[in-house]
Amino acid sequence: MTPSDAAGAPPPPDGPGSPADPPSAARSTPAEPTPAGPTQAGPAPDAPSRGSRAGRDLPMAIGVGVGLGIVIVLSLLLYRPAFMVIIAAAVLASVWEMSQTLRRARGIEIEWLPVGLGCVALVVLPWWFGHQAQALGIAVAALVCLLWRFRRGAAGYLQDVSASVFLLVYLGLFASFATLLVQPEDGAKRVLVFLIVVVCSDTGGYASGVVLGKHPMAPSISPKKSWEGFGGSLLTAMIGGALSVWLLLDHPWWQGVVIGAVLTVVAVIGDLAESLIKRDLGVKDMGTLLPGHGGIMDRLDSLLPSAVIAWALLNAFVGH
């Protein structure tokens, strides 16, 4: 569940993960990049399923979302470091998903081992070493990627290394802020505030987008997202933020309103950014690991940048 997906009618239906694998010669003769621009329509959606206007298996999606939510809440209530382990596992799976998709769609070879281990280190080490682990971890992991790629020669070197470093930042560095969010003594409550805002935004955006959605927000990027859905996300996120900050953190309600509003905007930006990535690659979903949702990255797309801003805002309002 992500607030960005709720910023309009839900995303298009599941479909083929990507085009067929490129031939082995693709490393020496890379395929022509897909031209970007407003006229690029991306893959055509399949016919919607009977269960939902979203085109996905809505009961399955709800069941998976509720199950994941229960696991996350239990980790926060019983043993906070377990939440960090869950995030690390999700990020590692996302690295694998993205590496497979990039290879099939463009012949880009992600340095999976250094990127995967680097992302896990970026998520885990800040629990003990804070921001120093973030800075040193991203630098060391990027350097290892540069060296690791030597073994395959010059062909495709720049695109492979660039994609690897991009994943280190997009997955590893962004996710490391979730660890910093849960690290303080009241970290479980801070994460719960974050999750409540996400759920409220998602629910409000879905309802208003389905019932009222008429004006597309970004038709060339994500045609099903509407301004009405965004308004619903914004309103419910601000209400959820106000109540959760007041009841859980004992801080003024207006701080929760600010958090809800800002996180909704950031979530939509993150969601639209991944929509552009998927259109560029010519895929509908980043994977199939989450039934009813697509890939793990299809759920993390807006949560990752939102975690960065949630940490910054809660630090500013509540303190370290």
| Per-residue pLDDT tens digits for 225-274 | 899 999 999 999 999 999 999 999 999 999 999 999 999 999 999 999 99
Q: Which residue has the higher pLDDT, 80 or 53?
A: 80
Domain assignment of residue 11, yes or no? no
Band of pLDDT at residue 57, cut at 50, 70 and 90? low
Domain assignment of residue 30, yes or no? no
Q: Which residue has the higher pLDDT, 193 or 34?
A: 193
Per-residue pLDDT at 289? 75
Separation of alpha carbons 11 and 302, rounded Å: 13
Domain assignment of residue 103, yes or no? yes
In the chain, the number of structural domains is 1
Separation of alpha carbons 120 and 316, rounded Å: 27
Amino acid at site 292:
G
Separation of alpha carbons 235 and 207, rounded Å: 12
Domain assignment of residue 258, yes or no? yes
Q: Which domain holds residue 313?
A: 55-318
Band of pLDDT at residue 302, cut at 50, 70 and 90? confident
Domain assignment of residue 34, yes or no? no
pLDDT in tens, 30-49: 444 444 443 444 444 444 44
Q: Which residues contact 128 (CB under 8 A, 6 or more apart)?
A: none
Q: Which residue has the higher pLDDT, 21 or 320?
A: 320
Band of pLDDT at residue 17, cut at 50, 70 and 90? very low
